[in-house]
Amino acid sequence: MSYIDYFSKNLYVLFTVIIFSLFVGDYVKSDKNKIIVIYIFISLLAVFKILSILSMLLIFLILFFLYFEILIDDYYKNIIIRKIRYKIIDFLYLLIFQYHFILFFLGLFFVSSRADFIFEIFKFDTLYIRDTLFMLWVFFIVCKISGNIFELCSFTKMYERMQEINFGNFKKLDDEKTDILLFLEDRSYYLRKNSYTVLSFDYYKYQMTNLKNILRRLPKKIKSLFRGFSTIEVQLFRSIGINTGYEKTFIRKTTEFIYTPIFFKGLKELYKQNYSTVSDEKYKDYLIKCYLNWALVRFNEKKYKNIYSLFENYKGTISNSDFLFYCLCLSKNSERITLDKEEFYKNFGYLVDKFNISDNQLTKTLGKMEMIANKN
């Protein structure tokens, strides 16, 4: 072995140690800043052609997976995400959406010898231009990472929020209120035995059984593509899992569709280890109770944490009429809510009739909501 070969191999070992130290050390506090420092370090080595770009990327990806999927300081992430396919999905999500690895990879390709043909076609000096453009590209990527305001909560935080409702002794929501909630929010809920989003066979099987109604409401369905298609589970995950950046619709919805089944399937497996009876139906009942505890309510231009905070000044039981009003506040129906009884009947009379809500009950509910509105 020549001295050059020996020195080169030692450089790769040194590179691996440095990247690993940046991941696990406390020199750089946040994961976002760790990735930024690592990207800049790799970029400088690539510009000065000290190490092979392909080798550096391979080492980086291995250490990235090791850090985020095995060594990460998020206790319940390792407990809930056990299956290797889910770890790979999480790994790819973080790379692509959080840390813009594809953009970084394209930049490294641009500065590598494999991109020489591009500059040969345009016949201009590549000595400084390519490196300058590449560093500007890296600066752009660093700005995107540092400016990314969308952030998930840790799995430990999500788990702790779910534990506000104890799986061992929660009280199931009564059937009448369950019917109201699911009619307005997720009619396929109990038919989806082990699926949690609309991207599932169970959901489309349910939709095919209602094909006639779907075709009749097709114009509204097309319009709703831009507004929703959220299941109860997706809405619950949104409430417990999105830390910041709710208004970033594309990345939020992508994240919800990816992580909702991962989180709730993993949580279900965890409960199976800790409780003797964890049937599909009981788990679904539990998720509804958690949903009621975390689903944000909007009424009279004010946000409430959940149904209980909406009615916190009323100590009696929540009537079916109250519950219907609450459910209407959860969705786009809230835009049509009015406290005028005649107008309310005009907009939602079919729901009042469907769920056998008496005129007296509705009058009490509208009076109660008017007092809440005036108080605020």
137, amino acid identity:
W
The number of C-alpha atoms within 13 Å of 5 and in the hemisphere containing its C-beta is: 2
pLDDT for position 335: 77
This prediction has a pTM of 0.88
pLDDT for position 166: 95
DSSP codes joined into one string, 76-132: HHHHH--SHHHHHHHHHHIIIIIS-HHHHHHHHHHHSGGGHHHHHHHT---TTHHHH
pLDDT for position 61: 98
> What does pLDDT average to in each consecutive run of 10 residues of the chain (376 residues)?
58 93 90 96 94 95 97 94 96 97 95 74 66 93 94 96 94 95 92 78 61 52 49 95 92 95 96 91 96 90 86 79 92 80 92 94 91 80
pLDDT for position 228: 47
pLDDT for position 114: 77
What's the CA gap between 150 and 97, in Å, rounded?
Answer: 10
The DSSP letter of residue 153 is P
pLDDT for position 250: 92
Contact (Cβ atoms closer than 8 angstroms) between residue 134 and residue 47: yes
Judge residue 23's burial from the number of C-beta atoms within 10 Å of its C-beta, 0-12 exposed, 13-18 middle, 19 or more buried: buried
What's the CA gap between 273 and 278, in Å, rounded?
Answer: 9
pLDDT for position 266: 96
The DSSP letter of residue 71 is I
325-336 b/e with 16+ CB inside 10 Å = b? bbbbbbeeeeee
- Looking at the chain, list the stretches that DSSP marks H as alpha helix, in order from N- to C-terminal side: 3-24, 31-47, 53-66, 75-80, 84-93, 101-111, 116-122, 129-146, 155-162, 175-185, 201-209, 211-216, 218-224, 232-241, 249-274, 280-294, 307-310, 320-328, 341-354, 359-375
What's the CA gap between 336 and 133, in Å, rounded?
Answer: 53
pLDDT for position 8: 59
Contact (Cβ atoms closer than 8 angstroms) between residue 307 and residue 173: no
What's the CA gap between 251 and 100, in Å, rounded?
Answer: 13
Structural element, H or E, at residue 190? none
